[in-house]
A = this chain, B = another copy of it.
């Protein structure tokens, strides 16, 4: 299976996702600025993949610089962390990875070159951890899918969105690998069309039957095609279980609720932001209106000077979510309690 993000030993190799499905083009990123731009321009996207990219971006920004002292190193680190955090504001994995590295380096004794080595190690660890977390999520989630399950998904949460096999789509891969017959309905996911471009491409590569629909068909598809459940990813989860995810997730969750079918979110525990009590506090990235008024900056679809709204994410309230599949278990409502139980299991006193 191909890797959408990997460390070559000298550069961060990514698949340029803006080129899919037209061509499979790898890019070797060698500087902080290149990583920042790749995240901002959605060449690398998906909350977990962004976290991994940022970790290596930090290392790339720190290497080859003649730091005179540990203090100077840590000062520059702070600047770069803040800069990278600005690339995309909603996905918490980005700041999670950066904070984790920064915290560790601050506490780690040693010279600038030793700290640099440590930064690389940590980035590699974050990448490896993401891979194994994907595996764990997929295995736990696959148990939710019966044979001949018809599933609906939104956006892209597969190989392209992570360093591993994915979160929500990873569950589909695992169930398929287990011999279950799965059929996936794929929301095209306007405005950027990650479902049409990326998820359809991944599923075609994997030989998993899939049907593309426009986002507004989801409710009718659930009714007409006996869809059993929805599986989506997450960009940030508040303490109470409210989930920020790709715009359109909220609408899909409401349709599932109306049709009384389960709505599952799949995400590593690092997607939780414990500093945020509920979804109303999650910053929602507003993107360029041209993404709505044009298809990929190419084809205008409306009048000139159209006023439009372009939030990249929305917030699905916890009450619409059946369960959150994490690497350590499937959380169920009330999520705060469920989370506590899992934390106690993972880190027993």
* B-chain residues with CB within 8 Å of residue A261 when the two chains form the complex: none
> How far is B305's CA from A302's CA once the two chains are assembled, in angstroms?
28
* B-chain residues with CB within 8 Å of residue A304 when the two chains form the complex: 21
State whether A306 touches B212 (Cβ < 8 A).
yes
Least Cβ–Cβ distance between A296 and chain B, in angstroms: 8
- Name which residue of chain B comes closest to A258, CB basis: B254
State whether A214 touches B295 (Cβ < 8 A).
no
State whether A307 touches B211 (Cβ < 8 A).
yes
Least Cβ–Cβ distance between A332 and chain B, in angstroms: 22
> How far is B250's CA from A21's CA once the two chains are assembled, in angstroms?
31
- Give the number of copies in the complex: 2
State whether B251 touches A216 (Cβ < 8 A).
yes
Interface-side segment among A96-104, A185-193, A339-347: A185-193
Report A219-242 residues with CB < 8 Å from chain B CB.
219-221, 223-225
With A221-B309, A309-B221 in contact, do A247 and B214 touch (Cβ < 8 Å)?
A: yes
With A188-B292, A258-B258 in contact, do A247 and B216 touch (Cβ < 8 Å)?
A: yes
Report A292-341 residues with CB < 8 Å from chain B CB.
292-293, 295-296, 298-299, 301-309, 311, 314-315
Report A179-217 residues with CB < 8 Å from chain B CB.
185, 187-191, 193, 196-197, 200-201, 204, 209-217
State whether B211 touches A308 (Cβ < 8 A).
yes
- Name which residue of chain B comes closest to A214, CB basis: B190
Does A132 lie at the interface of the complex (its beta carbon under 8 Å from any beta carbon of B)? no
State whether B217 touches A247 (Cβ < 8 A).
yes
- Name which residue of chain B comes closest to A313, CB basis: B220
* B-chain residues with CB within 8 Å of residue A311 when the two chains form the complex: 217, 220, 224
Looking at A216, A218, A311, the one whose CB has the most chain B CB atoms below 10 A away is A216
Least Cβ–Cβ distance between A152 and chain B, in angstroms: 12
Report A265-306 residues with CB < 8 Å from chain B CB.
292-293, 295-296, 298-299, 301-306
Does A70 lie at the interface of the complex (its beta carbon under 8 Å from any beta carbon of B)? no
Cβ-neighbour of A314 out of B210, B212, B217, B305 (below 8 A): B217
State whether B302 touches A217 (Cβ < 8 A).
no
* B-chain residues with CB within 8 Å of residue A113 when the two chains form the complex: none
Does A255 lie at the interface of the complex (its beta carbon under 8 Å from any beta carbon of B)? yes
Cβ-neighbour of A247 out of B197, B220, B247, B250 (below 8 A): B220
Report which A residues bind B (CB closer than 8 A): 21, 185, 187-191, 193, 196-197, 200-201, 204, 209-221, 223-225, 247-248, 250-252, 254-255, 257-258, 292-293, 295-296, 298-299, 301-309, 311, 314-315
What are 14 A-B contacts defined by CB distance under 8 Å? A21-B302, A188-B190, A210-B307, A212-B302, A212-B306, A212-B308, A212-B309, A214-B247, A216-B251, A217-B251, A217-B311, A217-B314, A254-B258, A257-B258
